[in-house]
Amino acid sequence: MAGLSKPDGNQGAFDAVLSALYAHPFKIHRPDTQRVPFVFASPHSGRLYPAGFVAQSRLDALSLRRSEDAYVDALFNGAIALGAPMLAARFPRAFLDVNRAVSELDPAMFDDAFGLRVDAVNARVHAGLGVIPRVVRDGAEIYSGKLSSAEAKERIARLHEPYHAALARLIDETLQHFGVAILIDCHSMPSAATVPDIVLGDRFGASASAEITRRAERAFEQCGFSVARNTPYAGGYTTHLYGRRDDGVHALQIEINRALYLNEHTIAPGANFESVQARLTQVLGSLMAIDIAGLRGNSTRLCTQVAAE
């Protein structure tokens, strides 16, 4: 499992992993020329685990990876050849979740809350899935003890804030060039008997034009995927933050069923990975051919301003 191991007493190796993440928390994959008004983001596919974080955890290495949207960045990378940039986090979701607001913190996780901005605890935080998660996806507790507020602030400052600054810049560049920007936030979901292949989340129409969602739905169905809208995933912090239809900025969340492409027990690409990847690239090509004439907004307010709110 690349990037994840128990500490071996080599402090330099531990420092190298954490330092590398803080120096380069994300990767931007750009086409030679951006040809379409789309930006792709993969916030939960990071798989570099600092050894100190693993040492703090009561979980084994494999269990820590249960929260990953494993290999989603690779699954959607056909978007780059089609002319769209992709932003991919390098740090794992279990370490910090950029699809949460910085104030979505559980004060009970910390030995002190000095200097932390904590809003009223919402359902996500109560469930242990705040910006610094308390549990992995299956509900297992991550930490064997409390964290310091200084550590929480450092993770937010060194990972969350740079990630969203970079995403806002990509959206701004796209908006200025094309007059419209369409963010596709890429995720995966655990398999279950009632879960379809794909769930499209547009916050019930608030974050993206109905035409974008309809076109995505048709494109997936034409490639043989079963599709649901907004249930059980309607979109998170990212679609809420950037989806500003009146400004010509649309945000659509795509969740793909992990059973289609992943061995969920070993967290390794499954036998059908390449075929699903090819079908997904076909879907994205159809989606990105959308007529953008009716998607432009009524103002030119920049997304960097939105990101600062």
Domain carrying residue 170: 11-307
Q: Evaluate whether residue 3 is within a structural domain.
A: no
Structure confidence by residue, pLDDT tens digits, 155-180: 999 999 999 999 999 999 999 999 99
Q: Evaluate whether residue 5 is within a structural domain.
A: no
**168-171, long-range: CB < 8 A, 24+ apart:** 168/242, 168/303, 168/304, 168/306, 168/307, 169/304, 170/28, 170/39, 170/85, 170/87, 171/39, 171/242, 171/249, 171/303
Q: Where are the alpha helices (DSSP H) in the chain?
A: 11-23, 51-56, 61-64, 72-75, 78-81, 123-126, 149-155, 161-178, 210-222, 237-242, 273-287, 303-307
Confidence grade of residue 305 (pLDDT, cut at 50, 70, 90): very low
Q: Evaluate whether residue 100 is within a structural domain.
A: yes
Structure confidence by residue, pLDDT tens digits, 88-124: 999 999 999 999 999 999 988 998 866 777 776 788 9
Structure confidence by residue, pLDDT tens digits, 173-232: 999 999 999 999 999 999 987 889 999 999 999 999 999 999 999 999 999 999 999 999
Average pLDDT estimate for 246-253: 96
d(CA 259, CA 263): 7
Instruction: Please report, for the domain that includes residue 133, its CATH number.
Output: 3.40.630.40
Residue 71: predicted pLDDT = 98
Q: Evaluate whether residue 81 is within a structural domain.
A: yes
- The number of domains in the chain is 1
Q: Evaluate whether residue 1 is within a structural domain.
A: no
Q: Evaluate whether residue 6 is within a structural domain.
A: no
pLDDT of 141 > 80? The answer is: yes
pTM exceeding 0.95: no
Residue 15: predicted pLDDT = 62
Q: Evaluate whether residue 132 is within a structural domain.
A: yes
Q: Evaluate whether residue 43 is within a structural domain.
A: yes
